[in-house]
Amino acid sequence: MRNFHFKILFLVLFTAIILTGCTTTKQDKTTLTENSLSSSSIQVSSTTDVLTYSLTQVSEHNTEVDCWQVINGKVYNISKYIPNHPGGLNSVLKGCGKDATKMFDLQHKPKTKEMLKNYYLGNLE
Ligand code: HEM
């Protein structure tokens, strides 16, 4: 009779250990899936984080001290560069608040285009 009690006790303990093990494994898998999901959503949001501006917004920045220009579909705030512009003030000011792609491409060497990245704000809508 005593032996029988031991067997029952052993079975109960064994079942309890197996069940606890399964539950823990299941939790780990759930946590792993949640982590993978959340890190992948961070990546998605970072790739779509490009600011866009309409031509109307650009047109509001049309002065010597606040000058935005659109060049090849990208919006630049070149206000800080204006006083140093080698082509003088008059020429560069003509493009403020506008799509200045044609004016820019006509007047500059291809290497000058590399300077634009320093003034990049976002893309044209
Ligand atoms: C409406 C926009 C612009 C116009 C109409 C314009 C016009 C001009 C003109 C007429 C020259 C003199 C070219 C010569 O004498 O050979 C010049 C030179 C220059 N501009 Fe502009 N500019 C504009 C915007 C910009 C911007 C946004 C940058 C830089 C962020 C820039 C950088 C330069 C540089 C580095 C030169 C001398 C080197 C070169 O000819 O490529 N300009 N620009």
Whether the pTM exceeds 0.95: the reply is no
User: Using an 8 Å Cβ cutoff, are 94 and 103 in contact?
Assistant: yes
- Atom 39 in ligand 1: residue holding the nearest Cα: 108
Determine the pLDDT at residue 49.
Answer: 85
Fold of 52-124: Flavocytochrome B2; Chain A, domain 1 (3.10.120)
Q: How far is the CA of 119 from the centre of ligand 1 (A)?
A: 14
Dihedral angle of Cα 34, 35, 38, 39, to the nearest 10 degrees: -150
Determine the pLDDT at residue 27.
Answer: 39
pLDDT of 31-90, one tens digit each? 333 333 333 333 333 556 899 999 999 999 999 999 999 999 999 999 999 999 999 999
Pocket residues for ligand 1 (CB within 6 Å)?
69, 78, 81, 85-87, 91-92, 94-95, 100, 103-104, 107-109, 112, 115-116, 119
| Spans of all domains in the chain | 1-49, 52-124
Distances (CA, A) of 51 to 54, 57, 75: 10, 12, 10
Instruction: Collapse the DSSP code of 36 into the 3-class scheme (helix H, G, I; strand E, B; otherwise coil) and give the result.
Output: helix
Residue type, 13: L
Beta-bridge mates of residue 98: 69
Determine the pLDDT at residue 36.
Answer: 35
- Atom 1 in ligand 1: residue holding the nearest Cα: 95
- 61: CB partners within 8 A, 6+ apart: 67, 68, 77, 79, 96, 97
